[in-house]
Every structure is written in C-alpha cells, then in structure tokens.
Amino acid sequence: MQREGQVRIPSGCAISGIIDKSGKRISGEAIIKSISVMHDRSNGLGGGFAAYGIYPEYKDYYALHIFYDSVTAKRECEEYLEGRFDIINLSKIPVRKIREITDEPLIWRYFVTPLPTRLADSQLDEREFVARRVFRINTLIDGAYVFSCGKDMGVFKAVGFPEDVARFYKLEDYEGWCFTAHGRYPTNTPGWWGGAHPFALLDYSVVHNGEISSYDANRRAIEMYGYKCTLRTDTEVITYIIDYLRRKKGLSYEEIASVIAAPFWKTIERMPPQERETHEYLRVMFAAQLITGPFSIIVGFENGVMALNDRLKLRSMVIGEKGDKVYIASEEAAIRIIEPSLEKVWAPKGGQPVVVYLNNPKGGKA
Amino acid sequence: MAINYLYPEYEAARNYDRCITCRACERQCANGAHEYVDEADKMVCDDSKCVNCHRCVSLCPTRALKIVKSGNTYKENTNWSGKTIDEIYRQAESGGVLLSSMGNPENYPVYFDKILINASQVTNPSIDPLREPMETKVSLGSRPHNIQRDENGRIINNLPPQLSLSMPVMFSAMSYGSISYNAHESLARAAEELGILYNTGEGGLHEDFYKYGKNTIVQVASGRFGVHPEYLNSGMAIEIKIGQGAKPGIGGHLPGTKIVGDISRTRMIPEGSDAISPAPHHDIYSIEDLRQLVFSLKEATDYKKPVIVKIAAVHNVAVIASGIARSGADIIAIDGFRGGTGAAPTRIRDNVGIPIELALASTDRRLREEGIRDNVSIVVGGSIRSSADIIKSVALGADCVYIATGALLALGCHLCRSCHSGRCNWGIATQIPELVKRLNPDMGYKRLVNLMNAWRHEIKEMLGGMGINSIESLKGNRLMLRGAGLNEKELKILGIKYAGE
C-alpha cells in the first residue's frame, strides 16, 4: 500500500486553538480538554498539537523536532546537521508509553543555529537557509523527517486520537501562550506519523479541517517557488502558501486571507475604489494561491494566530473570547468545556479572517 | 473535357417524390451543382461540383435533399486509400500543390477524448452554481515578481497591462479577407456582449470595427498588412503571429481576386494584388529579434497593451515558449495541429505540427520548471470543440483558450473544408457580396453569444462538480484529470494519472 506522500488521502477533522494575548503562558491541559470533546470528529488515525512559547530558555534557536525510522537515518541526519548548524542541545523528546500509541519512530529534538560561515556562503537569509536545509533532509535523507523547525515553538504529533497523542507527549508539562490542536479523520490509513497535523515550517504551523479542491493548482504553483510538497496533503500546501505570501512576499495576514479565501469578484466590484484596487490586484497577482473547497484553518505564527474559513464557509468554526484569551474551535462545545462563561461567541463568515496578535509583539518571547 | 479519373466522393441524393422544383437549391449553390432541366421539368445535380456544404440541404423547403457518400470504391487497399489515389490523380493532372481548408481531419489521436474529469463525492461537497457564486473570470498577462508599497504601506498596482475576460475563451485570429465583413461583425459584437475578445487576424481592421476596440486583439503577422499606429492602439492587445497550427513553418497567400474594395483599403495594398505573407517575419530570424519586435510594439503603444506571441505547436514547442516567455511577451498563444485555416497546403496541414494537448502540457511544465510561468499567460487553440475541452485545457495548465472553428460552426459553417474556393455558401469565407449577405450579423452574433453562454453554464456545472468555485483554482490542477486509453509515455507528458489510480 502506498503511504502518505505517495498518494493523496482526503480527510475530515477537528481543530481547536487557544491564545493568551497577554503572552501569559498556560499549560497544555486546556487544549487537550478542548480537542477531546470532539473525539468523534477524528478516527484515531492522526492527532497533534502546536505550542508557542514553550522553549523560553532556547528562544533564539531553531527547535528541530525529527522523526527517525532507524538509527542509520538518525546518524545520517545528525551528520548533515553538524555540517551546517551549531547544535546547542539535543535530546529525545520525552514520551509516555501508552497502549493507544504504538509503532512510534525515534523522536528527537535539537536546538540549533546556522553555522555563520555556512550561512554567509549560502547568501541566504537565516530563515530561508533553515527552510532549505529542512527540505533537503525531508526529501533526501531516507527515514528522517523534520516535522517542526520554528523558534520557541514546537509541534507534537502522532497516529492516534489527539487526547492520546497529548498523553504520549506529556503535553500537560509544556507551557505556552498559544496552542493549536488537530484530530484527524482520513479516509484511508496513512499509518505514518509525518502525515498527522499540525504541519509546520519555521514558525508557521497549520491545523486544517477540510479538503481543498484547488490542491494540485496550488501545489504546482508553490513548487515553482522552491517548495517541495512531499506529503501531498492540503495542510502542507497551505502552510507553504502562507510562508510564501508572508515571508517572501511580505503580505499581512489580512492580505493573505484576501488571497487564499479571496472575496468574490462581485463583492470586489462593490468595494470603495482604493480597497477594490487592492483586492483586484491581490486576486490577479496571486490567482494560483486562491484556495477553493472546504477548509477551516488555524495558522500559528511567531506573534499570534489566524483563523480562517473558505469563502463559502463549508466547514464549521467558532470563536470565543474572554479577557485576554481567544478560543477557536470546530465546535462551540470544545470552547465551552474549558471556558463556560465566554464574553463573546461568534462564527466568522466565510473568508473573514480572525487574526489575534500578542498585545506586546515580544510579549510571548520575553 | 479530358478524363480526370475522379469520381465524386459525395452525391446529392434527391427524393423526387418530395422535390417541388422550386429551384431554391439551384439559387443557393454558388458552385453550380444544381440545375433545372426545363424539358424534363426536374432538378438534376452535377455531383462533381458539390462540396458537401449542406446549404441546399438546409434550405430545401421539402427536405428532398441529402448528401450521401457516393459509395464508389477502388479495389480495397489498406496502403493506397481512395483518398491517396485521388490526390495523385489530381496532382498528376495539375502539377500543383494540393490545397485544403479548415483543420487536419486525419486519424491522429484526439487526447482530449482520452482525458476524463473528476467530481466530488462525500469528502468534499460539490457546489451548485445555481445557488452559489461560480467564477469564470480570468486575467491574462504577466505577473511582476515583487510587491511594492507606498509610504503608507498600501500596495502599489505594479501589474503590467492585463486582459480581463468574463470567461477563459477568445475568438482566435481570422482575417478580414479570409472571412467576410459580416462574419467579422458577428465576432466583434459577440465579443463585446460576452466580455471577451476577438482577433483581427492579419488583414488589418476595417474602420467600421474600431468601435469594438475594447474587445479586439490586433494582429501583426509577417505580411504586416494593415499595420499602422492607429491600428496598433485601437485594440486591447497586440498579437505577433509567428505561426499557425494548420500550417506551421509557412506563410499565407490571399489571392488578388479577394483583394477588392474595403479589403484592399484595410490591408493597405492595391486592389487585385496578391497578399503574400512570408513564411518567417523577415525581421525575426531568431529569438533576440523577437524581443526587439515585442518592444517596438510596446513602444508604439506606450506599454499599455499586452503583447501576445502566437506560435504553432511544433516538436520543441516548450523550449520555444520558454524563449518567448523571456522575450518580454505577456502572453503565449499556442496553436495545435488541428487548428483551422482558410487555405493551406494539404500535406502541411495533415502532417506538420503536434497535438495541442501535449504541447500545452509540456510547455506549462517547462515554464514551471524554469520558474517563469508567471512571466506569461498561456492561451491554447487548435481544436477546442466544447466546454469539456476548455476544462481539460485549463486543468492541464492553460489560462484561456482560442476558438475559431467552433465559432464558425455557430455562424453556419458546415465544415465542407472548401474555404480556399472563396465560394462559401454560408457567407463566411467569401467576399462575393451576394454570398456575404447570407450571413446576417444580427443573427450571427446572437448565435455566438448563445454558444458561449451555453459553454459557460457547462463550465460552471463541471467546476461545481469538482468543488471548485473559481476557474483560477482549476488552472494546472492536473489531479482533476485522469487518462483512459493512454500509454505511460502519454500520461507522463500530459502529467496526469490513469483512471483508477
């Protein structure tokens, strides 16, 4: 049977997210509770979490989370890393052996920074350098897969129900200012941990519920800009699109939303002239980054999150607010379970982005 | 008359029980096939003059006429077909190059017919275009590499000129001269009503049609007929015609007999003189010369018009397209070997060039591999026959398609492939006034609008079925296609999977 990456597997899902705008770090327990409520939206074939602000002691280093299929792959990958990065710290990611999670790969974590000489030689900026090295490892080193490579953030994912994945990774031991979670319902057995969500590149992480009909148009367009879609999942291509539009093209998150869940031409025609011109420009310029078909996504980034639905709102997504905390979930129940007395609960319209930034941009990292 | 060995391929079969000898067929046939025999009070037909254009069949009030294969056969021979034998007889008699019209009719694979389209089931909802917005609008032109912002952080519109179309279809080049005034008027008015563009072809632009400028592409071909500054500035885009799918590598020849009146004025050549378009542009012998012409035309139009470069689909089309994409052109038009023509040497039409499906797939892939796909839009023509062909073209990577034969069919053309005779009974490919007036532009344009609206509905239904609500998300979306009846190599070139994979 072909595994994920060799074949495209559609999947339905549950997503959830919590952010504390004050930058206050909260334990992983809340997000576990929230995603558990939506147990029936996943089928045990993938679960995962992204957590921001969890490595304050290493906040200036890229935290690489890597799956290895074998010791050989680990040796080969470490050799590759040592030639290009200064490895400040390395360790196994602590896990708890539980019955529900089996067949785990070797799971390692490295805190690294590019070797200054190699970085200078490459003539790339630091983040591009890291991104390219990660693509190299994932495409060329058989049995090694970097699934998280941002700063002061990390992804934890596995094949299993999300609440079991959380117990496996001892997520309750981590504290961060933002968590996102995903429970997966693929229509096929991927049986591979890399295929679970969140998908991440640098500080960007995406959890996603839906199946995008524009997939191959988006994939072929983004691959032209140097990205390699090895997983063939929607989430992977969405992450690359966001990285491309944000990091390489400098669009704001609101502008990114206007590209990937663009307003309809008829809506644009009715806008005031300046706004209209900008939207027309974005649609023409980034037509290949328009995403159609159902999706709800939560994008985590270095100082906030964005929640977004497809332009027809073909997937459920609710926002709840209380004080400095903003909650996002596929179902309201998943918010109520952790915060019964919300100040505001609402469902954003299709294509209407909800972007939440930390009050102090550096707050989360202080 | 000397024996010419040729027996008519078709014959007009008349049901004499129905024929009322009204002589309509006689009046309608510009080829003089039908004749009234007074002494017998009956109609007779000289089948050797019949081109099988169905004008008489369509206008016969009692349906007394139909055209049938004559059934006359040579001794069966799989190597020497009847057609081949007839062509040898004709050339042995005339000593000339055989001429043909319209697209290659031979039995080569039609890849569109071996490609199937996807639809959503369960995991992804299909979208009903009657309930939800469904976008078919496209924008053609080059995309810049960088976003620029003003001091307030607002995005500056740095897009080069674009062509905005309500649907990914344009009427491709057919010159005034090769087709009639009324045919041109029908195309121009239909383009205006539909929010798309038509193309003047290489015969210049009749002064009556300048008012349709917002829906016009003006063409500059190797003969440079009718090219002057006002002409270049009159349309929305300029197309440099390098080649044509029906006759790659050769030029064109409009005989002096057609260079009459307005056509002579529009082409800016004397009446009765042959209009000969050379095979190459004599100022383009290489790719660097093309760049100069592209920029000469941009200079002449103040960089306000996108420049299209049209080439025939030939063996190394992808590499040529890559050169064009770096030449300053905004749009590349590729014309497949099935594309139509008003006249071409038969051997060339039937043997030169490659299928548009393969040319498109290779070009789109190549431009992406080189990272220059955003430099240009791709328009494909050369036998786009239906809305399904459009969907398949876009999914293979086209931004838009060109149609011409389909448009002429809408105007009444019956594909008799005799355009080069100049006696088109349907008033399309002729300059004979009494024939031209048979095509009523009021009705002609309406039929074109109907056809395109019908296709637009079908496109929306197919998009919705795939769960896509903007045609932009279909562009290059090859996972939406599967092959059936194709070999590994064909699948690889098309970049699609086999049905069931």
Query: Topology of B10-96 in CATH?
Result: Alpha-Beta Plaits (3.30.70)
Q: Which two tokens stand for residue B350?
A: 């039937």
Gap between the Cα atoms of B246 and B349, Å rounded: 5
Query: What burial letters (b/e) apply to B449-484, b meaning 16+ CB within 10 Å?
Result: bebbeebbeebbbbbbbbbbbbbbbbbbbbbbbbbe
Closest-CA distance, A221 to chain B, in angstroms, reads 8
Confidence of residue A364 (pLDDT cuts 50, 70, 90): very low
> Would you list the domain boundaries of chain A?
7-43+208-359
Could you say which of B127, B159, B480 has the minimum Cβ distance to residue A284? B159
The whole-angstrom distance between residue A2's C-alpha and the CA centroid of its chain comes to 24
Q: Scanning every residue of chain B, which has its alpha carbon at the shortest distance from the alpha carbon of A219?
A: B477
Per-residue model confidence (pLDDT) at position B86: 94
CB nearest B123 (choices: A12, A274, A312): A12
pLDDT computed for residue A366 by the predictor: 35
Pairing of strands A153-158, A47-52: antiparallel
Active-site annotation holder among A13, A77, A149, A178: A13
Q: Is pLDDT of A190 > 60?
A: no
pLDDT digits (tens, 9 = 90+) for A5-28: 666 666 668 899 999 999 999 999
**Interchain proximity B475–A291, CB inside 8 Å:** no
- Give the domain ranges of chain B: 10-96, 138-498
Task: Determine whether the interchain pair B474/A284 forms a contact, defined as Cβ–Cβ distance below 8 Å.
Answer: no
pLDDT for position A365 = 40
* Chain B: residue whose CA lies nearest to A2: B501
Which one of A255, A288, A294 has the shortest CB-CB distance to B475?
A: A288
Residue whose structure tokens are 């009444």: B412
Using alpha carbons, select from B79, B78, B96 the residue that is nearest to residue B87.
B96
Establish whether A149 is a catalytic residue: no
The rounded distance, in Å, linking the Cα atoms of A11 and A16 is 16
CB contact under 8 A, B147 and A10: no
What is the spatial distance between Cα A84 and Cα B313, in angstroms, rounded to a whole number?
A: 47
* Shortest Cα distance, chain A CAs vs residue B407, angstroms: 28
CATH fold, domain B138-498, is TIM Barrel (3.20.20)
pLDDT of residue A8: 63
What is the pTM for the complete model shown? 0.94
Nearest Cα to Cα of residue B495 among B332, B367, B322 = B367
Average pLDDT rounded to a whole number, residues A255-276: 96
Residue ranges of chain B with per-residue pLDDT less than 70? 1-2
Q: Parallel, antiparallel, or unpaired: how do β-strands B344-345 and B99-100 relate? A: antiparallel
- Residue-wise pLDDT tens digits, A119-130: 999 999 999 999
- The CATH superfamily label for domain A7-43+208-359 reads Aminohydrolase, N-terminal nucleophile (Ntn) domain (3.60.20.10)
In this complex, do B123 and A10 lie within 8 Å of one another by their Cβ atoms? Answer: yes
The runs of H, that is alpha helices, within chain A are 29-37, 71-82, 116-122, 126-140, 162-169, 215-223, 234-243, 253-260, 265-269, 273-285, 333-336
